[in-house]
Amino acid sequence: MKSLLNVSDLSKDDLNSILSFAFELKETSSNTLQNLNIGMLFEKYSTRTRLSFHTAICALGGEPIKLDFEEMNIKRVESFEDTFEILSCYLDMIVYRTDDHKKLEIAKKYFKKPIINGLSDYSHPCQAISDIFTLKEYFDNLDEITISWFGDLNNVLFSLCEAAQLLGNINLNIFTDENIYKEKRDIFSFKNLNFYFDINSDILSKSNCVMTDVYTSMNDKDESKENLLKKFQVNSKIMSQTNEKTIFMHCLPANIGSEVTKEVIKGNKSIVKKQAYNRMLAQKGILKWLNI
């Protein structure tokens, strides 16, 4: 049974198939998901993931069904495991956003049909796949693309690292605080990553894309990283060290004034709106791949 809890659930061919399906289904509707009921279970806030899946499912002829634990018997007597076992009587797939990746793993064991990780504390595979799609669309191909990531070592970066490792031709430079690196280096032990604890204009001038994300993620328990990461804010000074073709990307939502300035995110190098739109195209690719 196919599922998408992490990018590492995919082979390189799988990822390339998802990207091809996303390009193929770009502006079209189809009946790929006809008669399929797809659960949408979000335990945390979401704008893009919720709406891009909902609209992608509808465009492919499926039926998105909003689920809420607050309205279900899991709140009274039924266990988490039994709930997912029963959900598989009615649903053909589920998109699940949660605060604890272990819950996704347990859900996968009991649901027995495709589960899509709509973000966990650990990873955000749909975001990484969509961002790879956006880079491929923008630069025409992914040959020797160099991304410079600024800030936290978080779920979005983890999935991006997995995707870069799988594809093999993406160079990833990570500008972060040394203490955060020491704390997370076992998780971020991928090949071909370059870590920097100071700004490096030579690297910036060779970057095709500068990317960042919030310093405090929705599942973070404290906000102590805000101070540590201040010097990695993506501002005009950083962007002035890039080349004329470098783009700026952010998965959104952004904490404007913290990890990125308004000038940069609203500036002419920023493609964040396109990036958000492309979530819907990438979800189409993911849904089609899961259903074949």
Where does this chain bind ligand CP (CB under 6 A)? 46-50, 119, 127, 251-253
- Alpha carbon 150 to chain centroid, angstroms: 16
Which pair of tokens denotes residue 97? 């956003």
Cβ-based nearer residue to ligand CP, 83 or 283:
283
Q: Report how far Cα 256 is from the mean position of its chain's Cα atoms.
A: 19
Question: Cα separation of 267 and 217, whole Å?
Answer: 24
Interacting partner of 193 out of ligand CP, ligand NVA, none (Cβ under 5 to 8 A depending on kind): none
User: How many whole angstroms separate alpha carbon 235 and alpha carbon 262?
Assistant: 8
Cis ω for the linkage preceding 64 (within 30 of 0): no
Nearer to ligand CP, 119 or 280 (CB): 119
- Closest distance between ligand CP and the C-beta of residue 119, in Å? 6
**Residue closer to ligand NVA, measured from CB, 50 or 206:** 50
CA distances from 148 to 38, 173, 193, 212 (A): 36, 5, 10, 9
**Residue of the chain from 131, 162, 177, 213 that contacts ligand NVA (CB under 6 A):** 213
183-191, 204-212, 213-221, 233-241 -> range binding ligand NVA (CB under 6 A): 213-221
Nearer to ligand CP, 61 or 253 (CB): 253
- Answer with the entry of ligand CP, ligand NVA, none that 101 interacts with (C-beta below 5 to 8 A by kind): none
Q: 145-150 and 170-175 as β-strands: parallel, antiparallel, unpaired? A: parallel
Instruction: Give the integer Cα–Cα distance in Å for 229 and 226.
Output: 6
Measured from the CB of residue 94, what is the shortest distance to ligand NVA in angstroms?
19
Shorter beta-carbon distance to ligand NVA: residue 156 or 290: 156
How far is residue 32 CA from its own chain's centroid?
A: 23
In sign, the C-alpha dihedral spanning 48, 49, 54, 56 is: positive
Torsion angles phi and psi, residue 207, rounded to 5: -90, 135
Nearer to ligand NVA, 25 or 251 (CB): 251
Site mask for ligand NVA (CB under 6 A), range 33-72, x = bound: ----------------------------------------
Could you give the CA distance from residue 206 to residue 243 in angstroms, rounded to a whole number?
A: 7
Segment interacting with ligand NVA, rule: CB under 6 A, options 53-61, 90-98, 212-220, 238-246 = 212-220
Q: Choose the contact partner of 154 out of ligand CP, ligand NVA, none; CB within 5 to 8 A by kind.
A: ligand NVA
* Cβ at position 9, least distance to ligand NVA in Å: 19
Distance between CA atoms of 280 and 52, rounded to whole angstroms? 4
DSSP label at residue 252: S
**Rounded CA separation 45/101 (Å):** 16
**Binders of ligand NVA among 111-170, rule CB under 6 A?**
119, 154-156
x-marked contacts with ligand NVA along 235-254 as a string, rule CB under 6 A: ----------------x---
Tokens coding 142 = 């992914």
Residue 159 interacting entry, from ligand NVA, ligand CP, none, C-beta within 5 to 8 Å by type: none
214's contact among ligand CP, ligand NVA, none, with CB below 5 to 8 A by partner kind, is ligand NVA
Q: Which is nearer to ligand NVA, 156 or 166 (CB)?
A: 156
Cβ(120)–Cβ(155) below 8 Å: yes
